[in-house]
Amino acid sequence: MTDATRAHAGPPPAVAADADAVDYPPPLTGWLTVAVLFLLYILSLTDRYIIALMVEPIKASLGLSDLQMSLLQGPAFALLFCLCAIPAGIALDRFSRRGVLFVSVMVWSLAAAACGLAKNFTALFAARAVVGAGESGFGTGAYSIIGDSFPPQRVGMAMSIFVMGGVMGAGIVFLLGGPLVAAVMRAGDLHLPLLGVLEPWQQVFLITGLPGVAMAFMVFWFREPGRRARPAAASIGYGEALRFLARRRGLFASIFLGFGAAYAVTIGFQLWAPSYFMRVHGWEPARTGVALGLIQIGAACSLPLHGWVVDRLFRRGRRDAHLHWCMLTVLLAAPCAIAGFLSGSAWLACAGFAAYMTLIMSTASMGPAVVQVVTPQALRGRVSAVYVLTTGLVGMALGPTLVGWITDRLLADEMRVGDSLVLTVFIVLLPAVLLFAFGRSRMRRALEAGA
């Protein structure tokens, strides 16, 4: 059978059998699950990014440098976020996933609130690290639960709706967090029994962190989806998962590295685009935040469309639908970004960035979705954990760092940050297209063989 024939063949027996063997929750329950996880995802982004709005008051209060603030925003969060995905994956495959999610939300919410009690850099660094640890368990668990709440031909849409919460959350933090921070700053210090004097930035951490303690109980609103786990699966750690990844190393290399590269460029854009608009076009921070926040919220609305297209292609027999669609959308997103940042016009740059974000959103949801589709249910928690670890390290470490390195070392001119953003498209994003193309035939063969 040729690749073209395989791409359009009907659902292979292995996939159909897998779908029929699982007791999927009723559709209403499945979508309730997505709704709850959607809201919790927005909460997690609030606790993750609110610090970006309070850089100056924290620096002044604790006497920190820009380097220390960058450590609090990046490595402090990312290190445990990535590393804790491994034990979280084991727990998700061994215990109740709702229970793991409950603990995760409680941990990151309490840690986020604890940021408001920090009196020095070390305490704030430790609290931020625990926020990352808690959020790692949530992301991995949400992928696993959504993957088992819908049959394979409907996972794309469900995952797209869930991921939309994360993308919208980033925009909402800037749109609503800014006025919140401003109001608390105007109110001044707060004197509380036992806690003493709390500065405004500390109050913001408490205001945004503590509601999560109550919201954690929302995970018990939906049913734990069934999974077909072998009896031995609960006691084998990562050995079987790693052997499975090794057997499908070509496919998973294209998935992990391809989506990691797409995330790296997108994260680099999100963190450096504000500097581009302020340095190159002279925009004020408030104007920049509103514009970029609205662009990200608007782009998030495209996620259901990406999910609908992929699910439709998959139902029609296109076994490589997830990678195929991401290959096409990334190929279209690249020239939009290049044209925008080279245009010389702030508004054309906004238009190019908006088009890029809308198209690149396909990778935000299809990455975790394709992992669920090609992985046996008994291994989804651990394979999802490896996915989170790999793409997290590639995305968080490579994207922002590469833009800064090109601007400082290669171009040696901070006013050319737009050129740096364009170069990352050629260096990192376009190779992702090749990786998706490489993985398509391997995805078809994996599903035909019964992943």
Provide the b/e sequence for 9-47 (b: ≥16 CB within 10 Å). Answer: eebbeebeebeeebebbeeeebbbbbbbbbebbbbbbbb
Can you tell me the mean pLDDT for 173-198? 79
Q: Residue 10: what pLDDT?
A: 42
- Categorize the per-residue pLDDT at 417 as very low, low, confident or very high, splitting at 50, 70 and 90: confident
| pTM reported for the whole predicted model | 0.70
Q: At residue 263, does pLDDT exceed 80?
A: yes
Hey, what are 262's tokens?
Answer: 């797409």
Cβ pair 9, 319 in contact under 8 A: yes
Would you kindly state where each structural domain of the chain is located, as residue ranges? Answer: 9-222+240-449
Cβ pair 228, 377 in contact under 8 A: yes
From 72-81, 107-116, 337-346, the region with the lowest mean pLDDT: 72-81
Give the residues across from 197 on adjacent strands.
191
Residue type (1 letter), 97: R
From 9-18, 54-63, 64-73, the region with the lowest mean pLDDT: 9-18
Which residue intervals of 95-120 are DSSP H helices? 97-115
Q: Residue 50: what pLDDT?
A: 78
The Cα 75–Cα 82 span in angstroms is: 10
% of residues, the chain, pLDDT over 90 = 27
For the segment 377-401, what is each residue's pLDDT rounded down to a tens digit? Answer: 778 778 887 887 888 778 876 777 7
In this structure, which topology does domain 9-222+240-449 adopt according to CATH? Growth Hormone; Chain: A; (1.20.1250)
Q: Which residues contact 281 (CB under 8 A, 6 or more apart)?
A: 346, 349
- Categorize the per-residue pLDDT at 19 as very low, low, confident or very high, splitting at 50, 70 and 90: very low
The Cα 253–Cα 180 span in angstroms is: 43
Q: Of 149, 109, 71, 110, whose CA–CA distance to 377 is shortest?
A: 149
88 compared with 213, residue with greater pLDDT: 213
Average pLDDT in the chain: 82
Can you tell me the mean pLDDT for 180-195? 80
What count of residues does the chain have?
451
Q: Which residues contact 45 (CB under 8 A, 6 or more apart)?
A: 166, 169, 170, 172, 173
Can you tell me the mean pLDDT for 157-174? 76
From 119-128, 193-202, 367-376, the region with the lowest mean pLDDT: 193-202
Can you tell me the mean pLDDT for 193-197? 79
The Cα 390–Cα 410 span in angstroms is: 27
Can you tell me the mean pLDDT for 5-34? 58
Q: At residue 336, does pLDDT exceed 90?
A: yes
